[in-house]
Chain A
Amino acid sequence: MRLTISLALVLLVGLSSCAPNPQPLKKQLTLAVVSGVEGDALQQAARDYEAQKGVHIEIATFPYTNLFEKELIDLKARTGAYDLIMLDDPWFPRFANEQLLTELTPLLEKRGQSGPDSDFVDTSVALCRHPYQSGPLYALPYVGNSQLFFYRKDLFEKYSLKAPETWNDVLAAAKTIHEQETTGANGDRIHGYVMRAAQGNAAVADFMPIFWAFGGEMFGPDGKPAVNSPEGIAALEFMIELGKYSPAGYASFNADEVGAHLLQGTAAMSINWPAWISSFNDPAKSKVIGKMEFTTLPGAQKPGQAEIGNWLIAIPRDSQNAEDAIDFLLWATSAEQMKRSAQRGNPPTRKSLFRDAELVAKNPAYPAQLRSLESSRPRPRTPYWTEIENAFGIFLSKANSGTLSPAEAMNQANAEIEKILQRAK
């Protein structure tokens, strides 16, 4: 008897969870966002939209590491689960190349627009085209991230250091602070520099600006990988040199460790993304309120170029609600809504907003951000970027943890990248 009852209960539960969702009477969109500050702004915008227009927006949040996989597998399997997805710009070539995204121009034309308006920052919009810069439009940029150089202006003043303009300046300043400053937690030293060198996205993102500044290029003019050029090896050697003034274990650091060090005041300089600036003045999180300064990236043999890292929003090809999705997308990327978003800490992708008096007053780093954004360059736009970044990242991490010499690491990395490209043929 009891068995029968329990069996019945189980069946009931099973069946109820099986029942297909009844068609919602309201329109509904499903949005996949990244967890964290980059996705938060879009989430809040979605709630505003819902309040304004009555369209229910279901938000699915995933951590950075899993968002790519989730989106790729769902789009490739054509599940139609998501109507809008956030893409980190290096992922974009893959998605566009495999024709997983809806082309936006026809949808825009239906609304009387021929394309994204000219207020968008050019480098940001260029990312949304496949091929880069010239091809049809598949996404719109939302989070206008482009790397900035963060440094502790109070410590620079203390040691009469000028704002760093070249990487050698950075090294010298790091050395000074590292050797002399001891106001870190518990009377510990303050590390001159902190960076992330965990294998994968972390190491590569922090390394590319140094790599480019030293004259390195991932691909030579013939399209073959060239990371083991003398410039490339010099750049890696420099990175390891800088590592001496970084906290121990930086070879495994991700953004959260870098963030923790900067917020706790135990490291003085770093490359970082502007989207994270707002935390620095949050008393619940920061011990260095008002002490950080932001500037464009230093140069070396070549002028400093930031790496762009925008978050784009695209509409999957199999979305059932493309018309409603584009409505939301245009709404969210309009000047008015982006300004609201910027007030919440999201870096915009519109030039007018970077110059808006109100916003600049609240975000004194905006002029630097705009300069950085306009002169930035993207990571190589290849659909095989995930594999390349993974392999390259492993070797960078090995070099930084001392397992391989810089020359060996770069040579092996180059060979591995060649293998990846060969397999793709």
Chain B
Amino acid sequence: MPALFIAPALAVLLSLSIYPLIYSVTISLQKETPGGVVWGIGNFARLVSDSFFLTAMAHTFVYAVAALTCEFLLGLGLALLLNSQIRGRGIFRASLLVPMMLPAVVVGVVWRLMLNPNFGAINGTLKQFGLNTESLTWTASPKLAMVSVIAVDVWQWTPFVFLVLLAGLQAIPQEPYEAALIDGSSRWQTFRHVTLPLLKPSILIVLLLRTMDLLRVFDQIFILTEGGPGFATETISLYIYRTAFRFFDFGYAAAMSFVLLALTNVISAIYIKFLQAKEEI
């Protein structure tokens, strides 16, 4: 009986992930030479000495950590703020959700226009306030480019974090708070010992989902900077994309993807270990 229920899902996922997986594994272990196809771990060996790959990985981690931290703190803050009966709560909540509903393509395009150092709205408005924007070249500056793309990600995905954490907050029952009140805890103590632990499941989900997505980020960086200037914002997905589609070197791209997959698995396992409240997922 349960088999019938689960079968369709398994069928879909297996057929659409098994073939690609086998294909990727096979091709990552092959190398095309004029003499034919050669098997070996050459693609994986190449990873170690490829400075582009290592730099891209470094960028990806910086991006993920920075974006996640900002999104989490901001999302939590917003969730706490909106978790009460304030006026216009519905409007605030609705408006704050808008950024995450836009296609990444649109987000990339709009922000690219806004961040344009000479014609964009950001610098234009800053200039009106009297700031000198000569050096604020945002996506064109090697120093500011990474900050810019992180900022755009934070803009788009904080609403998601906010939503999930708000839901988590609203799911917390009154009793623990009343107990804390009786115990005479301060606001901060209540927050730390009552709110946060009960919020753990939501935090876990948010961290898991966001981390997975941040490590694979592609669309908006592709449109904003295409990895530039001078590789400054090249994340691993961009590099894999280029390798796969521009250079048509699928074996190497697959090898890189497996490394990324392994790392994502490790990080997810760490999250689950530390934040899982119950032992069954």
Contact = CB atoms under 8 A, between A and B. Distances in A.
When A and B assemble into the complex, do they touch directly, with CB atoms less than 8 Å apart? yes
A199 B229 CA distance: 6
Nearest to B144: A249
A143 interface: no
B227 A199 contact: yes
Interface string A388-403: 0010001101111111
Interface string A374-418: 000000000000110010001101111111100000000000000
A167 interface: no
A199 B228 contact: yes
Given A69-B246, A248-B140, A257 B116 contact: yes
A199 B142 contact: no
Interface string A223-265: 0000000000000000000000001111111000100110010
Interface in B230-281: 230-232, 242, 245-248
Interface stretch (B74-82, B131-139, B175-183, B198-206): B131-139
B58 to A, nearest CB: 15
Contacts of B232: 401, 403
Contacts of B227: 199
B108 interface: no
A312 interface: no
B153 interface: no
Interface in B118-172: 118-119, 134-135, 137-142, 145
Contacts of A37: none
Interface string B106-123: 000000000011110000
A398 to B, nearest CB: 3
Nearest to A389: B246
B220 interface: no
Contacts of B141: 249, 401
Contact of A401 (B135, B230, B246, B248): B230
Contacts of B139: 249, 252
Contact of B245 (A69, A199, A200, A398): A69
B117 to A, nearest CB: 4
A239 to B, nearest CB: 14
A65 B232 CA distance: 19
A73 B230 contact: no
| Secondary structure of the A contact surface, majority rule | helix
A76 B250 CA distance: 13
A280 B230 CA distance: 30
A109 B141 CA distance: 55
A198 interface: yes
Nearest to A261: B118
Given A199-B228, A252-B229, A390 B140 contact: no
A394 B231 contact: yes
B238 to A, nearest CB: 11
A198 B247 contact: no
Given A249-B141, A390-B246, A260 B119 contact: yes
A68 interface: yes
Contacts of A404: 230
A65 B224 CA distance: 13
Nearest to B34: A425
A72 interface: yes
Contacts of A387: 246-247
B228 A390 contact: no
B140 A199 contact: no
Contacts of B71: none
Contacts of B134: 248
A145 interface: no
Given A68-B246, A386-B246, A394-B231, A200 B116 contact: no
Nearest to B42: A423
Given A248-B135, A248-B140, A250-B140, A198 B229 contact: yes
B142 A401 contact: yes
Contacts of A395: 230
Interface of B: 116-119, 134-135, 137-142, 145, 225-232, 242, 245-248
5 contacts: A249-B118, A260-B119, A261-B118, A395-B230, A397-B230
Nearest 9 pairs between A and B by C-beta?
A: A249-B140, A249-B137, A398-B230, A252-B140, A397-B230, A69-B245, A252-B229, A249-B117, A199-B228
Given A248-B134, A397-B231, 17 more contacts: A72-B248, A198-B229, A199-B229, A199-B231, A247-B118, A248-B137, A249-B139, A251-B229, A390-B242, A394-B231, A397-B230, A398-B231, A400-B229, A401-B142, A401-B229, A401-B230, A401-B232
Interface of A: 65, 68-69, 72-73, 76, 197-200, 247-253, 257, 260-261, 264, 266, 386-387, 390, 394-395, 397-404
